[in-house]
A and B are shown apart, each in its own frame.
Chain A
Amino acid sequence: MSNIDRRTLVKGSLAAMMAGAAGSRGAFAQSSEPILLGVSGPLTGPNAQYGTQWKQGFDLALDEIQAAGGINGRKLTYNFEDSQSDPRQSVAIAQKFVSDPRIVLELGDFSSPASMAASPIYQRAGLVQFGFTNSHPDFTKGGDFMWSTSVSQADEQPLLASYAVKRLGLKKLAVLHLNTDWGRTSRDYFVNAAKEYGAEIAVTEGYIAEERDFRSTLVRVRDANPDGLILISYYSDGALIARQARQVGLKQVICAASSVYSPKFLELGGEAVEEVHVGTRYFPEDPRPEVQKFIAGFKKKYHGLEPDAFNAYAYDAMNMAAAVVKIGGTDRKAVRDAFTKVKDVPSVIFGAATFDVATRRVKGAMNAELVVRKGQFALWDGKPT
């Protein structure tokens, strides 16, 4: 075979040998060595923005952890491998991590196909896969080494439905959702809860992530004659829909899931997102000390940049990982067991976070009812708009 072929192989094997023999595990590192976590996520490709946001959240959390003396005197650090959120790459990364004995826990991946393709490898090797953006209902069913602090849609959507139906008094709803596993699952939880609260679902429309033009979709919405629009969207598509809704003359109340919570939503949506209602887990004016510490720290570290929900997920995930490793040490199985032991870890999204051992997810999150006023997210004062 050709030279390239052989060269690739030799390089790969060298890297492997440096990383240590295959399959061996346990803590061989001296106690002065930093404790290493693996991160598998997108740094390039279409989801690159989320990997960048993760890094910001991770680095802030690590600064604080290091300043507080690290994990029992050792530094905590991570090795971020770019998967482009592509399953072919995330499985290779998984093998890299599981055969590197220094890695005590893995964080990620971003999307469900990439994360869940790697799950069997982590499960068999006995390395925790801590997926903090993985809301796919089957993610934690991959095995007892799959844990998640992803905002559980079973928890979140009924809160949004309650905000829309009970508090805002919307009786006939149009639901627009991202047609992915996340959007679809969320939509189902939302629709069920909204019906339970007595609302009628006039129309649901699923759109793909690359979509930019929603005018025709909004005509469909208009013809269904709802009195409220529900957006199960990320901030970029949420802002697009709100803008185009106003442009085609829809004046209905808009309610959006917490995933739009980002300064970018305001920047991209401009005037059109005024009076949009957002149910969220995270709100910077929340007086809780952990939230205020996060925001102040973030702005200081990143030159005045406002953090958003994905920054907060990553920050919380790193703090949770630190809390777990503090109990479990560097033994992978002990780390897994530590997830059942951590209690009331201070977090931005969940307040005091504790895992539900049965679902391996965090239960019971904070909820704030926000509305966009004068280009800012503000707590809703209860007055109808």
Chain B
Amino acid sequence: MSSWLDYTINGLIVGNVYALVAVGLALIFGVSRLINFAQGSIYLVGAYIGWVAVVQLHTPLPLTIIVVAVAAAIVGLIIERFGLRPLQNSVRIAPLLATIGISFVLDQLVMLTFSPNPRALPSQLPDVRFQVGGGTIGPLDLLIAGVGLTSALLLFVFLRYSKLGWAVRATAQDRDAAMQMGVDVNRVNQAVFGIAAALGGVSGLLVGMYYNQIDTAMSLQATLKGVVAEVVGGAGNVPGAVIGSLLLGLVESYGVAVFGTSYRNLFAFLLLVIVLVLRPNGLFASARQAPPEPLTGTFIAPSRPVRIPRWALLVAAGVFATLPFFPVSFYVLQTLINAWLLGMLALSLTLVAGTVGQVSLGHAALLAIGAYTSALLSLNFSVPVGLAIIAGGLMSAALGTALISPSFRLRGHYVSIATLAIGEIVSLVILNWESVTRGPIGISGIPPLSLFGYDLVSPTSIYWFSFVVMVVLALLQGRLLGSHLGRSFRAIRDDDTAARAYGLSLNRYKSLAFIFGGFAAGVSGGIAAHLYSYINHETFNTQQSILALTVVILGGLGNVVGAIVGAVALVGLPEVFRIAAEYRILIYGIVLLLLVRFRPQGLLGTI
């Protein structure tokens, strides 16, 4: 029984670590209603600045902390001034996407400067351990707890009792009203970003010291855990973020205790989904808090879509359909195959995110469900590949919709966080459900694509096959959008209260959208499985979900042609920049930022 004490202590210790990131996220969310995906990158920057201070300059600990806090705050101010302030009056999704772009740029800059090899960041505290339960805790554990709790407390006092704090809260509640009352909203935003970034940087330093290890891949994981902790506690609520972090740490620790290590993150994300479903504003949101988002068309830019004349579409389709007859290399064809597969995924996402307004950050899960279904059916039950792919699409439609349905009552950012969690859960179930999915070993020897008994193995035939499937799905979706059903979808997106008042059943229409969308994504995953012949739980990861969202926003939300144009552009850009090797993700991030800045409604605009 004594072990339970140890699990509890361990849970609290790691919860502390999460709290350092979550507090910064909560502060920014509180003021600008923005989930700052760059917070993990600031944490990374802080860790590396700390490494320079400790290892190169040999600064003592208090000075190290000050150096890191100041440097990180400066980075935060730069991000606010040049990355986010220009986006103030554009759609909500634009700053979100900008933070993703900023995180690419920051991570890549750190990697180019310091090389991707992990480094040791020695702790500057004496290495004594105190016996607690069956284990021990050290001074650094206490320092982390101290920094987490003190910063939360200070922030709380600051927000409640200082004049700038009042301004921050006023801005959070109603930006326009605050501005009319003479609050300098920009200065408030700056202050908040500076404080949050300083906290983020210091947390990177402390966590790096705690593990005696920093590497350039640590930022995404930190962001993920921080976001989970923050949302569990109640987005924008600073003390809530601390409690949410501790709770997350405890749930993970007890999860390991009862079920074993490989289930650890599963419980973290299940906790998130359960909290969101039961208390959509997080555990510690007050009942009086305003709904998470205004009700009308939050994510959608008012724009006039670019109408592409029918003849131009036909010409383009004709060019792509006949492309293999021209002297193009298999490399170009393969790149376009990737674009068509991503295009199917983007069609799926543009329907649910663009047309119905349910922004999904876990769309790769639908790929994975389709891919595993199709691969297992064709391998274990000798189902013909063509049928297996269709079955994969149907399974994604059914299972995906069932999984996502508890989140239908959520709004705004909470939908994207719930879908992010569901995406992670699907991946972890695939990893652990060994009797069916073969767990970490993955599925190999998946039969190649075939149609009516003929194997499609040449790039040319795979190209035509995937192109035709995508065009058919696009035509169906275009038809759908022009129909009565499509108009109902857009009505829900633009104003769900009004739509409900007109008698539309929100859940039913959202389900329909996910069923159609799930099918397209599942087919894409199925084709990919047969194309690759080997898949495992890492084949379809969070990065693909983020890529799909980027494509959709780039093309224009809800825009069918835009989804395809976006897919071609985002598969093509990194290939065009391939010559730049290590710099290409940096360039990609900058291009993304420029697009968000100058064309937030997407290339072709929202339909």
Given A95-B333, A220-B256; A113-B328 close (CB under 8 Å): no
Given A213-B14, A270-B120; A43-B581 close (CB under 8 Å): yes
Contact with A along B226-241 (1 / 0, CB 8 A): 0000000000000000
The prevalent SS among residues of B at the interface is helix
Asked whether B568 is an interface residue with its Cβ less than 8 Å from the other chain, the reply is yes
Nearest-neighbor residue (CB-CB) of A13 within chain B = B328
B117 x A52 contact (CB < 8 A): yes
Nearest-neighbor residue (CB-CB) of A50 within chain B = B116
A2 x B441 contact (CB < 8 A): no
Q: Which of A15-23, A165-173, A342-350, A364-372 participates in binding chain B?
A: A15-23
A8 x B569 contact (CB < 8 A): yes
A220 x B328 contact (CB < 8 A): no
A208 x B138 contact (CB < 8 A): no
CB interface residues, A 210-266, toward B, < 8 Å: 210-217, 219-220, 222-223, 236, 239-240, 243, 247-249, 264
A113 x B576 contact (CB < 8 A): no
Q: How far is the CA of A355 from the CA of B38 in the complex (A)?
A: 48
Chain A nearest CB from B543 CB (Å) reads: 8
Q: How far is the CA of A48 from the CA of B338 in the complex (A)?
A: 22
Residue of A80, A96, A240, A247 near B581 (CB, 8 A) is A80
Residue of B10, B217, B260, B531 near A205 (CB, 8 A) is B260
Nearest-neighbor residue (CB-CB) of B334 within chain A = A95
Contact with B along A119-150 (1 / 0, CB 8 A): 11100100000000000111001100000000
CB interface residues, B 316-340, toward A, < 8 Å: 316, 326-335, 338
Given A52-B116, A264-B117; A92-B575 close (CB under 8 Å): yes
Asked whether B538 is an interface residue with its Cβ less than 8 Å from the other chain, the reply is yes
Nearest-neighbor residue (CB-CB) of A96 within chain B = B331
Given A8-B569, A179-B262, A206-B440; A117-B135 close (CB under 8 Å): no
Nearest-neighbor residue (CB-CB) of B572 within chain A = A8
A87 x B532 contact (CB < 8 A): yes
B576 x A12 contact (CB < 8 A): yes
Q: How far is the CA of A57 from the CA of B106 in the complex (A)?
A: 28
Chain A nearest CB from B148 CB (Å) reads: 15
A95 x B117 contact (CB < 8 A): no
Asked whether A184 is an interface residue with its Cβ less than 8 Å from the other chain, the reply is yes
Q: Which of B196-204, B207-215, B276-284, B470-478 participates in binding chain A?
A: B207-215
Asked whether B439 is an interface residue with its Cβ less than 8 Å from the other chain, the reply is yes
A48 x B116 contact (CB < 8 A): yes
Q: How far is the CA of A46 from the CA of B218 in the complex (A)?
A: 9
Asked whether B407 is an interface residue with its Cβ less than 8 Å from the other chain, the reply is no
A9 x B440 contact (CB < 8 A): no
A11 x B136 contact (CB < 8 A): no
CB interface residues, B 74-132, toward A, < 8 Å: 108, 111, 115-120, 122, 127, 129, 131
CB interface residues, B 556-588, toward A, < 8 Å: 561, 564-565, 568-569, 571-576, 578, 581-582, 584-585
Asked whether B291 is an interface residue with its Cβ less than 8 Å from the other chain, the reply is no
Asked whether A91 is an interface residue with its Cβ less than 8 Å from the other chain, the reply is yes
CB interface residues, A 6-62, toward B, < 8 Å: 8-9, 11-13, 15-17, 19, 21-23, 43-46, 48-49, 51-53
The prevalent SS among residues of A at the interface is helix
A249 x B330 contact (CB < 8 A): no
Asked whether B359 is an interface residue with its Cβ less than 8 Å from the other chain, the reply is no
Nearest-neighbor residue (CB-CB) of B316 within chain A = A1
Given A4-B569, A8-B572, A80-B581; A219-B216 close (CB under 8 Å): no
On chain B, the residues within 8 Å of A44 by CB distance are 108, 111, 582, 584-585
A91 x B212 contact (CB < 8 A): no
On chain A, the residues within 8 Å of B326 by CB distance are 13
Q: How far is the CA of A141 from the CA of B138 in the complex (A)?
A: 50
Nearest-neighbor residue (CB-CB) of A86 within chain B = B543
Q: How far is the CA of A116 from the CA of B539 in the complex (A)?
A: 11
Nearest-neighbor residue (CB-CB) of B135 within chain A = A248
Asked whether A316 is an interface residue with its Cβ less than 8 Å from the other chain, the reply is no
Asked whether B253 is an interface residue with its Cβ less than 8 Å from the other chain, the reply is yes
Q: How far is the CA of A53 from the CA of B117 in the complex (A)?
A: 9
Residue of A89, A96, A248 near B329 (CB, 8 A) is A96
Residue of A86, A137, A239 near B213 (CB, 8 A) is A239
B257 x A249 contact (CB < 8 A): no
A247 x B603 contact (CB < 8 A): no
Q: How far is the CA of A211 from the CA of B575 in the complex (A)?
A: 31
B120 x A267 contact (CB < 8 A): yes
On chain B, the residues within 8 Å of A48 by CB distance are 111, 116, 216-217
A-B contact count (CB 8 A): 279
Chain A nearest CB from B235 CB (Å) reads: 23
Taking residues whose C-beta sits less than 8 angstroms from the other chain, chain B's interface range is 35 or more
A240 x B211 contact (CB < 8 A): yes
Asked whether A300 is an interface residue with its Cβ less than 8 Å from the other chain, the reply is no
Asked whether A330 is an interface residue with its Cβ less than 8 Å from the other chain, the reply is no
Asked whether A162 is an interface residue with its Cβ less than 8 Å from the other chain, the reply is no
Chain B nearest CB from A213 CB (Å) reads: 5
On chain B, the residues within 8 Å of A121 by CB distance are 334
Nearest-neighbor residue (CB-CB) of A8 within chain B = B572
On chain B, the residues within 8 Å of A268 by CB distance are 118, 120, 212-213
On chain A, the residues within 8 Å of B572 by CB distance are 4-5, 8-9, 12
B6 x A248 contact (CB < 8 A): yes
On chain B, the residues within 8 Å of A142 by CB distance are 444, 533
On chain B, the residues within 8 Å of A111 by CB distance are 538
Contact with B along A90-101 (1 / 0, CB 8 A): 011011101100
B264 x A117 contact (CB < 8 A): no
B569 x A248 contact (CB < 8 A): no
Asked whether B150 is an interface residue with its Cβ less than 8 Å from the other chain, the reply is no
A113 x B10 contact (CB < 8 A): no
B120 x A213 contact (CB < 8 A): no
On chain B, the residues within 8 Å of A1 by CB distance are 308, 312-313, 316, 561, 564-565, 568
Asked whether A106 is an interface residue with its Cβ less than 8 Å from the other chain, the reply is no
A236 x B213 contact (CB < 8 A): yes
B134 x A219 contact (CB < 8 A): yes
Most chain B CB within a 10 A radius of its CB, from A82, A142, A205: A82
Asked whether A63 is an interface residue with its Cβ less than 8 Å from the other chain, the reply is no
On chain B, the residues within 8 Å of A136 by CB distance are 441-442, 444
Given A92-B334, A185-B441, A268-B120; A208-B10 close (CB under 8 Å): no
A95 x B330 contact (CB < 8 A): yes
On chain A, the residues within 8 Å of B256 by CB distance are 216-217, 220
Q: How far is the CA of A112 from the CA of B537 in the complex (A)?
A: 11
Chain B nearest CB from A287 CB (Å) reads: 29
Given A5-B565, A116-B534, A124-B457; A206-B261 close (CB under 8 Å): yes
Q: Give 4 nearest A-B pairs by CB, closest first.
A: A16-B329, A8-B572, A117-B532, A116-B534
> Can you show 5 pairs from A to B with CB atoms below 8 A apart?
A22-B328, A44-B582, A53-B117, A220-B260, A270-B122
